[in-house]
Structure 1
Amino acid sequence: MPAILSRVFFIGLIACFAGSGDAGASAITVSAAPVASLADGRVGAFAFESVTPRQIMDFVKRAPAEKAVVTGMLSLPPQAQGPVPAVVILHGSSGINPGEWMWAKRMNALGYASFVVDSFSGRNITETEKDQTRLSMAVDIADAYSALRLLATHPAIDPRRIAVMGFSRGGVAALYSSLEPFRKGVIDDDLRFAAHVAFYPSCGIHYASDHQDGAPVLMLLGGKDDYTPAAPCTAYADDLKAKGARVTVKIYPDAYHAFDRFTPLRTVPSATSARLCHGEYDLDSGWFTMASGAGVVSGGEAKIAAQACLSRGVTIGGDPVGREQSLALVASFLQSAFAAER
């Protein structure tokens, strides 16, 4: 199996942002043209095509959207034998940080391929933590499914055993990509993720559908998270379970946001949080509703309420218990999910 790395290079430590709790953010920069297939067995850094939807329902309905070229870094486990499982890794609001590379190495050590996706650099964005409206959350989901479709063409990867894992903003994409309308926004056949692993996603304003992709979902949450609180996610998990989804929730009681990272606790005054927001975007009907002082509002009023409920200032940093235990839980969860797809 050839390893093709022509005309690509990786640049690290571009800038320092706080969003995912690591010391520095990095970018995956590629000079070669985007690839549409990995049938040649290439690994390393390469570019691929995705879209940048402006609105959620535009994405779901496959309305014409601005094309985007994004990048990723693919690593195979040492001495891979036969088609192996793979994990798509999605970063948070500050871009790719050391934590994403840490998890990529962990996946390789477990015998899985890892594909770290950079959703920002190709769109000339460095961070969204101060203003998430700079980039629709649908973008990360589009990139996740574009990555799935691409990885499925690689001869060393089993297309039935590709999972998605994300952190914070990336956790949002990892979680809500379990909804069938999002899958159908990109995928034409029955290709789907084998599992969804969402670290500390935001669930206050959530997406809903009566149709899931059928894959198991794991949510890992911090009990003291004041950025993306655990309570709305446990309520959302209950809603998914009521619709037949297989959802596992793990809360680390003393953990804050980015508890899996090796960084001390610190406050980030500029970061925007939706912790006080409560709303739902129904993908089946396109109806958006928000809780407000006047009760439940929809349409334009809901959009206004979604802005009014935002607040600033969050706490970020690692937690020894969450950091240690989450690895074992993720490993066990993925092993079970991948075994079911053999």
Structure 2
Amino acid sequence: MPFRLRASIFALAAVAPFAALASPTVPERWPDAPPAMAGQAVTVPSSSPFVPRDLGGPQVPDAQAQVTWFPPAGATPGRKAPAVVLLHGSGGVLDARELTYGRQLAAMGIGAAVVDVFAARRDLATSFVDRIIEITETMAIADAYATLAWLKARPEIDADRVALWGFSYGAMSSIFAANAGIADRAAGRFGLGPTRFAGHVAFYGPCITTFDDERTTGAPVLMAWGDGDELMNPVRCNALADELRAGGSAVRTVVYPGAYHQWDGNWAGPRRIGRLLDGCGFRVDNDLVVRTDGIGVPMTNPFTRKLMLALCVGSEGYLMGRDDAVRERSNQEVGNFLNSVFARPRG
């Protein structure tokens, strides 16, 4: 998406009250997204690891992460701003979701980097099904940490106050990225030293993967889903939250009554799409290899991934539908979470 300098200057001027905040605070009611704030197209050096074990591996192909950057209003090298990296779902980047959140965050003085994992890998897949097979959650993790490294180099951004926010497919990556073993390997690949994400948000991310090594980076986690979302298994999600707590992270889970999948998306709905994942269960072992629960078959390439999913994905779909009232509540929840994360002492 091209960067329109005049439009961006106009949009930043329109949100001058937020620019006066030295340490941005997310208000209870979020500002309207300035429609003229288009964002800046940025290319960030990344890679395409298929599974966590491949992060930083010598044979992993390079990639160019595609990022839409929304600069934080009022930030300067003398008054550094926090930031949020956003990871889309299996349907890709949505204007109503990632791009709107990006504009809103920037208006509040928080930098927002919207990562398009699929756009960086059009040579691998373009159709919906093929993207799910060929472009993995680990590739999204690589792009997220590559973007964190890019943010760390920006003089107006405080790299110790960068959160990762994922949606559905991206929410699974956000949880993966909180695992200490995965984070260490990704940080090493992109030269981040001790820098890690300060917090992790997961909106309606299927809880189908757990970890042999439960250690986390210690960053807090927010998990949110609707009780009308048939893609979410509350028993599994609460068990995953407990696992993250055991690993060292404070975890808050929020369930919105009556909310369907993607309450902050484009479709008014509800409409039934996709396939259920109730039969799927994966585990990341101590060597960062993804295996099926029980028989332990490893996921090593697109063929084994396709086979593993074919054996566990159900024939029924799940309901998706936008709900602006739920979105307003989830905005407040994310705002409270970010305020807490950004206020935490550094180091």
TM-score range, shorter chain: 0.7 to 0.9
Structure 2 match to 1:105: 103
62, 84, 88: which one pairs with 1:91?
A: 88
- 1:69 matched to 2:64? The reply is yes
How far did 1:201 drift? Answer: 0.8
- The residue type paired with residue 278 of structure 1 is G
CA distance in 2, matches of 1:218, 1:57: 25
Q: What displacement does 1:146 show?
A: 0.6
SS in 2 for 1:273: coil
SS of alignment partner, residue 275 of structure 2: strand
| Structure-1 separation of matches of 2:234 and 2:98 | 21
Equivalent residues in 2 for 1:129-278 (5 A)? 132-188=132-188, 189-261=193-265, 263-269=267-273, 271-278=274-281
> Structure 1 residue 70: deviation in Å?
2.0
Aligned with residue 297 of structure 1, among 295, 301, 322: 295
Query: Does the 8 Å contact 2:90/2:168 carry over to 1?
Result: yes
Conserved 8 A contact 2:241-2:253: yes
- Please give the alpha-carbon distance, in whole angstroms, between the structure 2 residues aligned to 1:243 and 1:141: 19
Instruction: Return the alpha-carbon distance in structure 2 between the equivalents of residues 209 and 261 of structure 1.
Output: 34
Is the contact made by 1:160 and 1:341 (CA closer than 8 Å) also made in structure 2?
Answer: no
2:47 matched residue in structure 1: 51
Unaligned stretches of 5+ residues in structure 2:
5-38
**Distance (whole Å) between structure 1 residues aligned to residue 239 and residue 127 of structure 2:** 29
Task: Work out whether residues 164 and 200 of structure 2, in 8 Å CA contact, stay in contact via their aligned partners in 1.
Answer: yes
Task: Kindly tell me the number of residue pairs found equivalent between the two proteins.
Answer: 297
CA distance in 1, matches of 2:65, 2:308: 32
**What is the distance in 1 between the residues matched to 2:212 and 2:137?**
14
Other structure's SS at 2:195 match: coil
Q: Aligned-pair distance for 1:129?
A: 5.3
The answer (yes or no) to whether the contact 1:163–1:193 under 8 Å persists in 2 is yes
Q: CA deviation at 1:300?
A: 5.8
Are 2:271 and 2:320, in contact at CA under 8 Å, matched by a contact in 1? yes
* Runs ≥4 residues deviating over 6 A: none
Is this contact kept in 2: 1:222–1:230, CA < 8 A?
no
Question: In 2, are the aligned partners of 1:200 and 1:230 still within 8 Å (CA)?
Answer: no
Pair 1:281 & 2:284 matched: yes
Q: Is the 8 A contact 2:215 2:248 kept in 1?
A: no
Residue pair 2:42, 2:68 contacting (<8 A) in 1 also? yes
Q: Which residue of 2 aligns with 1:40?
A: none
The TM-score with structure 1 as length reference comes to: 0.79
C-alpha separation between the residues in 1 aligned to 2:163 and 2:106? 13
Whose helix fraction is larger, Structure 1's or Structure 2's?
2
Q: Which residue identity is paired with 2:279? A: L
C-alpha displacement of 1:208: 4.6
Structure 2 counterpart SS, 1:65 = coil
Equivalent position of 1:15 in the other structure: none
Amino acid in structure 2 at the alignment position of 1:132: I
Tell me the secondary structure at the aligned position of residue 122 of structure 1: helix
Q: Structure 1 residue 63: deviation in Å?
A: 4.1
- 1:244-270 CA-to-partner distances (Å, cap 9, x unmatched) read 32111111121111012353124344x
Deviation at 1:240, TM superposition (A): 1.5
> Which of 311-320 and 68-77 deviates more?
311-320
When residues 262 and 136 of structure 1 are mapped into structure 2, their CA distance, relative to the original with a 3 A threshold, is: closer
TM-score, structure 2 normalization: 0.78
SS in 1 for 2:187: coil
For residues 282-322 of structure 1, what are the alpha-carbon distances to aligned partners after superposition, in whole Å with 9 as ceiling and x for unaligned?
244647242xxxxx222269975553111242211123442
Q: Does 1:79 align with 2:74?
A: yes
CA distance in 1, matches of 2:334, 2:115: 19
CA shift at 1:131, angstroms? 6.0
Distance 1:162 1:300 in 2: 33
Partner in structure 2 of residue 34 of structure 1: none
- Does residue 117 of structure 1 match 2:115? yes
The change in CA–CA distance for 1:111 and 1:176 in structure 2 (over 3 A counts) is same
